[in-house]
């Protein structure tokens, strides 16, 4: 038997209120999130929660994911990061290290295959996971409890012990490297976020590719030259972003601007 599931993440503002979700079918799915996090953190957390939820089964797991960053991190880059003490090739720290280490542990002994699918392209499982992840992010934006779903119920009688519900991480913004203890869902729900009146009328959530539309257009006749001084940590985060997008540091910075 093979379990096929989709895992997806969402962030309103990126970083901002965010959500994660995995989906197998209407009887087997879960969602959660945090008051503040990034889209990549949501994508990683979705895969981690799926692996944890299905840990009691021996079935092969096929994960549909629209994030190449997540797939490449787990299947290509992680072995090298581990050999270097969770450092990248340029010596900088690996972003989201706590999630990466948890994913590395959750993958051990599992028969898992990742399949990339294009987001918002009509893939049924991906669309279902996306809808639930976005719904969780919107719930945190409104300071409400998200719909967490039924969890993994398939073959529940064969599982030796049910997986305890994992508390959502109070994710840190990329600029914060300090580690924090994971709060309970109740504690996370009272973290201050912008009031509805301060938020734009339309949600800021979008795929990264959507945010970059038009950036490949020809430059204006009178380009503006900017000079920035980056700290070592800022340079490392920019290098991670460039690696994930497959572009140069200069292009990654141009896209951010």
Provide the annotated active-site residues.
Answer: 8-9, 43, 66, 120, 130
Sign, CA dihedral 68-72-73-74, equals positive
Instruction: Give the C-alpha separation, 194 to 15, whole Å.
Output: 13
CB distance 50 to 59 below 8 Å: no
């Amino acid at each position: 038997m093979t379990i096929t599931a989709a895992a997806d993440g969402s962030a309103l503002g990126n970083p901002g209120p965010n959500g994660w979700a995995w989906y197998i079918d209407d009887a087997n799915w879960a969602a959660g999130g945090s008051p503040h996090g990034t889209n990549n953190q949501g994508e990683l957390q979705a895969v981690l929660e799926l692996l944890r939820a299905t840990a009691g089964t021996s079935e092969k797991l096929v994960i549909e994911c629209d994030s190449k960053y997540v797939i490449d991190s787990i299947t290509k880059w992680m072995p090298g990061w581990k050999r270097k003490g969770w450092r990248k090739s340029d010596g900088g720290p690996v972003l989201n290290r706590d999630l990466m280490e948890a994913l590395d542990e959750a993958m051990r002994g599992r028969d898992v295959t990742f399949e990339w699918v294009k987001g918002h392209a009509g893939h049924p499982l991906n669309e279902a996971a996306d809808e639930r992840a976005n719904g969780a992010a919107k719930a945190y934006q409104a300071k409400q409890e998200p719909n967490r779903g039924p969890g993994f119920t398939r073959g529940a009688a064969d599982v030796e012990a049910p997986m305890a519900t994992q508390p959502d991480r109070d994710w840190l913004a990329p600029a914060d490297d300090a580690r924090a203890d994971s709060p309970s869902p109740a504690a996370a729900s009272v973290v201050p976020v912008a009031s509805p009146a301060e938020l734009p009328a339309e949600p800021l959530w979008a795929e990264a590719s959507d945010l970059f539309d038009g950036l490949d257009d020809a430059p204006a006749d009178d380009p503006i030259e900017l000079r920035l001084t980056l700290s070592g940590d800022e340079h490392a985060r920019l290098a991670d972003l460039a690696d994930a997008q497959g572009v140069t540091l200069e292009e990654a910075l141009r896209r951010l601007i």
